[in-house]
Structure 1
Amino acid sequence: MAAPDFGPQFGPLPGEALLSRNENPYGPAPSALRAVADAARLGCYYADRGLGRLADMIAERHGVSPRQVIIGSGSTEILCAIALAWGEKGKVLCPDLFWDTTVQYGERQGVEALRVPLAADMGVDLAAMTARLDDGVSLVQICNPNNPTGMLIPSADLRAFADAVTPKATLLVDEAYNELTDAPGDNTLVDLVRAGRDVIVCRTFSKIYGMAGMRVGYAITTEQNAQRIAGYLMSFGGNTAGIAAAIASYNDTGFLERSRAMVLEGREMIMDAVARAGLTALPSQTNFVYVKVPDADAVQAAMLERGVFIRGAYGPWKEWSRVSTGRLEDVERYAKALPEIIESLNA
C-alpha cells in the first residue's frame, strides 16, 4: 500500500508561500525526525516517563527543580490553564495588543481582562500597566518579544517592572521567541524564578524548534504555581511523537543555530523590501516583522493574489501588517511583490 501524501493536510499547498503563522519550515530537526520514527512504534503506550525526562532536561538547563516545570500541549494549553486558574482569583492585566488568544479563552469562561494601550512607539507601556495594578489584579501577562509587533522589552525595564508587579500579583511572561533574540540569556526572567519570585515563564517548541504541529510547550515557575497550573491542564501524559522529538532536539545546537541563521536572513530580506517600498517597520527580535502600510487588509489581499499568505490587520491597527520569515524562496516572493503592491495602492 502506497504511503499517503500528508503535504496537503499539514503544510502549504504547491505554490503557496506561507508567511502568516510564525512557523519554522526548516524544522523539525533531523534529530527530532529520527526520534519520532524510533518512538512511533511505542505510540500505543502513554508517554509519562518521556514527559518526565523532558522535564528533567529543562530543569537541568535552567537550574530549577523538575517540579517547577510544567509541560503541555503547546504553550497554548498552559497559557489557557493559567488564564483560568488566576482568573478565578482576580483580573488579568495585559497590553491591548499582544498574543491574547489565551486571554480571550479565559474571557469566554468569565475571566475579566484589563487591557492597557501600547506606548506611542508601539512598545508595551510598562509604566501605564504598573499604574493600573491594584489589589483586584491576580495576573499580569505580557509577551517578550511581543507578538505581533516583534519588539523586545529592554531587560532592565522588564526587571524593574517585575519588581513592581510581583509583590502584588503573578507576572506571566510568554517567551515563545526568546531563542531568536540577540541575547536569549539576558532577555529571560527564569533567573527570577530561581530566586523564588512569583513569575511564570512560558516557552514553546513551536518556533525555533520547528515543531508547531507537534504541540509541545512548557512553563517554568515556582512549585506552588506549577501545582496550580497542573490542576487546570486539559490533557495528560504528553504525545509520544512530540515528546520524543522535543527530547532529541532540545540540545541540538547545530540545528538551532542553522534555524536562527535562516530567520535572520529572511528578516533582512523583509527589511530590505520594506525600505525599497518606501515603508517603515518596527525593530524585530523574532521571526516576523510588523510593517507599516497604507492598508494591511489590502496588502494581504494583494499578496494572496500572488499566492503569498501574510496577516491582515489586527483589530484597529489597520496600518500594520505582519509577515513571518518562512522558506527563503517564499520570503523572496514577498520581497519582490511588496514594492509593486505598495506602488499600486498609492497610485
Structure 2
Amino acid sequence: MAFDISRRFMLAGGFGASATLAAGCSAASTATGQQAAFPPQTTPSGNALLGPNPDIAQLSRNENPYGPSESALKMIEYAGKKGAYYAGEANLVLAQLIAERHGVSPEQIAITTGSGEALSAIALIYGPKGPIVAPRLFWDTTALYAANLGMATIDRVPLTPDMKTDLAAIEAKVTESTGLVQLCNPNNPTGLVAPADEMKATVKRLAAKTTVLVDEAYMELADDPDGNTCIDLVKEGHDVIIARTFSKIYGMAGIRVGYTISSPEIAAKIRSTAMSWISGVGLAAAIGCYNDTAFLDYSKAKIVEARDMVATTCDALGMEFLPSQTNFMYFKSGLPANDLHEKLAARNIEIRGQYMDYADWSRVSMGKIEDVERFCKALPTVV
C-alpha cells in the first residue's frame, strides 16, 4: 500500500526531522573541526512513508533491502498483536541465542536499540576517562555523540597510504590514560578488513592498557567472519568489547536491534547507560531470524553479486577502488565526492557524499541488483 506524504506532514514532521539531522551534522562539524560538509537530507516526497520512493536507487545508507527475512516477518506479525505488553523475557531469549552461538554466557550480552545505542553508551562510559583513540576514518557517529556533549575527545590516527587502519600507529598512541580504543572491522567507509593475526595481536596488547571496542557491524559479510572476529579475545578474558547489529546482513536497519559481547561487568554498565528499552517487535524479529542460515546465505550472495558488479564497472573505467568485504565500496571516480553525489542524484541514484577531507573518495552501498545496475550504467555517463 502506498502512503501519500502530504505537505502538512513534511512541514510538521518530515522537514523538522531533516532539519534536525542537518543541524546535527553541522554541530558535529563544528565540534570536531574535521567533518567535511555532507549533502543535506532532502524532505520527504512521493509515496514512500518508509524506505525510498520506487524510482529512487537508494545506495547511500548501507542497508540490506533483501530483509527482513520471512522468519523475522512472521515474528513481527506475532509481536504486533502483542504490542500492548512490554517485551518481558524476550530480551533474555535473544541473549541466550547469541550466547550459545559464540560460547559465552547470556550475562555477557547487552542488547540495545541497534548497535548505535550501545556504541553511544560506551562512548559516554569511557569518554570521560581519557581520549578515544581511533582511525582517522571510522564510523564515528556514536563517538561524536559523546564528544558533542563535552564528554569525550577523539584522537584520530591517520590511515596508511593504502587506506588501511594503521594498527601500529594506534598502538603507539595509546597510553594508560587513554579512555578507549575504538576500531571498526571491517571498517566503514573503506570496507577493508584488518589482517586477522595482526588485528588480534594488536588488540590483545592494547587491551592490557585500556578497553578496546571493536565494532563488527559488517563482520558477517566478511570472507572469513569466524577467522576475523575478535570475540575469542573476550572469551579469553581480555578487556575487549565487540559490537554487532541486525541492521546489515539481517536487513533490519529500521527495526533497530544490536548487541555487544563483553565481560559481564562491562555488559551491565552498557545496559545501565543505554537510554531506552528494545521494542517487543524488534526482539521478536531478531529471535525469529538470528539462526536463519538460508536467509543469511542468500543476503550475502546478493550483496557479493552486487559488489562484483561495481568492481567490474570501476575496473572497466580505470577507477581505483578498495577491496571491500562489506555491503559498500569506496572508490575514486575522478570527480569530487559531493559533485558525483549531485550528478547521480539528478538521475535518482543516491550514494554517499564526502567523508571528512577525503574529497576524492566516494562510497556506494549494495542495494537491490537492479538499482546497482542503474548505478553501474550511470557512472560512465557522469564522470
Structures share a fold, TM > 0.5?
yes
Deviation of 1:3 after TM superposition, in Å, equals 8.9
Is 1:76 the counterpart of 2:125? The answer is no
TM-score, normalization by structure 1: 0.96
Is 1:64 the counterpart of 2:115? The answer is no
Dislocated runs of 4+, deviation >2 Å: 2-7
Which residue, out of 79, 92, 105, partners 1:39? Answer: 79
What is the alpha-carbon distance in structure 2 between the residues aligned to residue 162 and residue 314 of structure 1?
A: 26
Moved more, 2-11 or 239-248: 2-11
Deviation of 1:320 after TM superposition, in Å, equals 0.2
Task: Count matched residues.
Answer: 340
Is 1:289 the counterpart of 2:329? The answer is yes
What is the alpha-carbon distance in structure 1 between the residues aligned to residue 187 and residue 168 of structure 2?
A: 16
What is the alpha-carbon distance in structure 1 between the residues aligned to residue 118 and residue 260 of structure 2?
A: 7
What is the alpha-carbon distance in structure 2 between the residues aligned to residue 86 and residue 192 of structure 1?
A: 19
1:155-204, Cα deviation, whole Å (9 max, x unpaired): 00101111220111011000000100111100101111111110000000
Moved more, 21-30 or 160-169: 160-169
Which residue, out of 27, 37, 54, partners 1:14? Answer: 54
Which residue, out of 308, 314, 332, partners 2:349? Answer: 308
Retained in 1: the 8 A contact 2:2–2:48?
no
1:199 alignment counterpart: 240
Describe the shift of the 1:130–1:3 C-alpha distance in structure 2 as closer, same or farther (beyond 3 A): closer
1:140 alignment counterpart: 181
Deviation of 1:293 after TM superposition, in Å, equals 2.2
1:259 alignment counterpart: 299
Is 1:112 the counterpart of 2:150? The answer is no
Moved more, 92-101 or 5-14: 5-14
Deviation of 1:138 after TM superposition, in Å, equals 2.0
1:14-43, Cα deviation, whole Å (9 max, x unpaired): 210000000000100011001111121111
Retained in 1: the 8 A contact 2:3–2:49?
no
2:129 alignment counterpart: 89
Is 1:277 the counterpart of 2:317? The answer is yes
Percent identical residues: 50
1:89-133, Cα deviation, whole Å (9 max, x unpaired): 222111111100001001012212111111111000011111111
What is the alpha-carbon distance in structure 1 between the residues aligned to residue 355 and residue 207 of structure 2?
A: 30
Retained in 2: the 8 A contact 1:276–1:339?
no
Describe the shift of the 1:3–1:328 C-alpha distance in structure 2 as closer, same or farther (beyond 3 A): closer
1:249-287, Cα deviation, whole Å (9 max, x unpaired): 000000000000000000011111111222110010000
Deviation of 1:4 after TM superposition, in Å, equals 5.7
Is 1:156 the counterpart of 2:197? The answer is yes
Which residue, out of 231, 235, 253, partners 2:272? Answer: 231
1:165 alignment counterpart: 206
Is 1:49 the counterpart of 2:89? The answer is yes
| RMSD over equivalenced CA pairs, Å | 1.3
Deviation of 1:5 after TM superposition, in Å, equals 7.4
Retained in 2: the 8 A contact 1:84–1:109?
no
Letter in 1 for 2:66: Y
What is the alpha-carbon distance in structure 2 between the residues aligned to residue 243 and residue 223 of structure 1?
A: 21
1:286-334, Cα deviation, whole Å (9 max, x unpaired): 0000011221111111111111000111110000000000000000000
What is the alpha-carbon distance in structure 1 between the residues aligned to residue 101 and residue 198 of structure 2?
A: 25
What is the alpha-carbon distance in structure 2 between the residues aligned to residue 30 and residue 230 of structure 1?
A: 30
What is the alpha-carbon distance in structure 1 between the residues aligned to residue 148 and residue 2 of structure 2?
A: 41
Other structure's SS at 2:180 match: strand
Retained in 2: the 8 A contact 1:16–1:307?
yes
Letter in 2 for 1:105: Y
Letter in 1 for 2:235: R
Retained in 1: the 8 A contact 2:257–2:282?
yes
TM-score, normalization by structure 2: 0.87
Structure 2 unmatched runs, 5+: 6-46
Describe the shift of the 1:269–1:11 C-alpha distance in structure 2 as closer, same or farther (beyond 3 A): same
What is the alpha-carbon distance in structure 2 between the residues aligned to residue 163 and residue 20 of structure 1?
A: 34
1:41-79, Cα deviation, whole Å (9 max, x unpaired): 111111131111000100111111100000000000000
